[in-house]
Amino acid sequence: MLKKSLIFLVSLAALFFLFNNVLMPLYVKHADTVKVPKVTGMNYIEAKKIIEEAGLEVKQGDVKYDETIPIGMILDQNPPSEETVKYGRRIYVTISGGEQLVEVPNLRGKTLRDAKFSLEQRGLKLGETVRKSTNEFPLDVVISQIIQPGSKLKKNSNLDLILSDGPFAGDLKIPELTGKTLEDAKKIISDSKLKLGKITYQTNNEIPAGQIIDQYPKFDKSANENTAVDLFVSRKKVIVKKETEESETGESKIDKQQNTDSETNKSADTPKDKTKEKTKEEPTNTPGDKKIEKKIPNPSDKKEEIQKIKPDVKKDDGNKNDKK
């Protein structure tokens, strides 16, 4: 019994020694802990170096855009500093993206209008444009862009474009004619070895009459000798002439029209009035009127009857005298 007890104690002591001197060091070596260093406010490259030296691993997390904080600065970390963690633990850091950047779109082949719309959608602006003659793209279509698609730019940044100026027509250049008088424009076209094309007049009271409003082809376009240049010339509105005529005569065309209408109405009413007067002066004889004439005797008729009666009376007197 005693022997068994001794064997048990010796075995227990051996296990304790083995656990304490062999197993525990191995476990502690793989399960050592370390305090997380503080890296907020540091540059990402510097923070990465400090974290790795502490036996930890750095992992980039979110990116927050703040124009007041330089790009690449550590804004936050997880786990926080001074917390005890195991060796090899990942430390997630939040980095400042500085001012927010937007991706440059691909504008090649788009019209100038569509290119402006695409830039405005991303918070960018159209910069300077350079025109180049080409047979590949029509007029006002983007040939290429200075900053390549997929690049990152700050918001409200300008993007310069190269636009198509249409096919190359020749070695001559179209002169600037807008703002010139028609006579001066004709002379410039002739001196430039070009040909006068179609002249179109457009009403415009803001530009003096006879001045060139627009032209086609446009200024600085390439052209060949005797290329026709169409002109759009200003002229005054017809309404202005009507107003001046009204101010000179003192009577508008509407008033004149009303006067003529009233005169025609008077002339049209005159025959009707005369016919009405005639109907009043010359009443028609109706059967009722004949009965009235019979009932009302004429005084002249009475005189005639009296005159007829008197001779008969005289004859009677004469007969009486004869009898005597």
Residues 107, 69 within the same domain? no
pLDDT, tens digit only, all 324 positions of the chain: 666 777 777 777 777 676 666 665 555 455 578 899 999 999 988 999 999 998 999 998 888 888 788 888 999 999 999 889 988 899 999 998 887 788 999 999 999 999 999 999 999 999 999 888 887 888 889 999 989 999 988 888 999 999 988 777 677 888 999 999 999 999 999 998 899 999 999 998 888 999 999 998 888 887 888 888 999 999 987 654 455 444 445 444 445 454 544 454 444 444 444 444 444 444 444 444 444 444 455 555 544 554 554 444 444 444 444 443
Which amino acid makes up residue 272?
K
Residues 116, 135 within the same domain? yes
Distance CA 121, CA 141 (A): 19
Write down which residue in 239, 260, 289 finishes a domain: 239
Task: Give the list of residues 6+ apart from residue 202 with CB closer than 8 angstroms, or none.
Answer: 213, 232, 233, 234, 235
* C-beta of residue 121 within 8 angstroms of C-beta of residue 152: no
* C-beta of residue 108 within 8 angstroms of C-beta of residue 143: yes
In a domain, 234, yes or no: yes
The three-class DSSP label of residue 149 is coil
Residues 27, 83 within the same domain? yes
Residues 206, 230 within the same domain? yes
* C-beta of residue 107 within 8 angstroms of C-beta of residue 142: yes
Secondary structure E strands in 151-299: 152-154, 158-164, 172-173, 195-203, 212-216, 222-223, 228-235
Residue with tokens 């007197």: 317
Element (H, E) at 276: helix 253-281
Write down which residue in 53, 82, 99 finishes a domain: 99
Residues 69, 141 within the same domain? no
Distance CA 39, CA 76 (A): 8
In a domain, 36, yes or no: yes
Residues 91, 80 within the same domain? yes
* C-beta of residue 230 within 8 angstroms of C-beta of residue 198: yes
In a domain, 64, yes or no: yes
Write down which residue in 79, 99, 119 finishes a domain: 99
Q: Provide φ and ψ at 236, rounded to 5°.
A: -75, 155
In a domain, 143, yes or no: yes
Using CB atoms within 10 Å of the CB of residue 304, give its burial: 0 to 12 exposed, 13 to 18 middle, 19+ buried: exposed
Q: Which of 267, 257, 212, 261 is nearest to 234 (CA)?
A: 212
In a domain, 319, yes or no: no
Residues 125, 92 within the same domain? no
Rg of the chain (C-alpha set): 59
Residues 218, 189 within the same domain? yes
Q: Provide φ and ψ at 274, rounded to 5°.
A: -65, -40
**What range defines the domain where residue 75 resides?**
16-99
Residues 224, 235 within the same domain? yes
In a domain, 133, yes or no: yes
In a domain, 119, yes or no: yes
Q: What predicted TM-score, i.e. pTM, was given to this entire model?
A: 0.36
Helices (DSSP H) in the chain: which residue ranges? 2-18, 24-30, 44-53, 112-121, 182-191, 238-249, 253-281, 287-295, 299-323
Domain count for the chain, please give it. Answer: 3
The CATH number that applies at residue 39 is: 3.30.10.20
Distance CA 306, CA 291 (A): 24
In a domain, 108, yes or no: yes
Residues 32, 80 within the same domain? yes
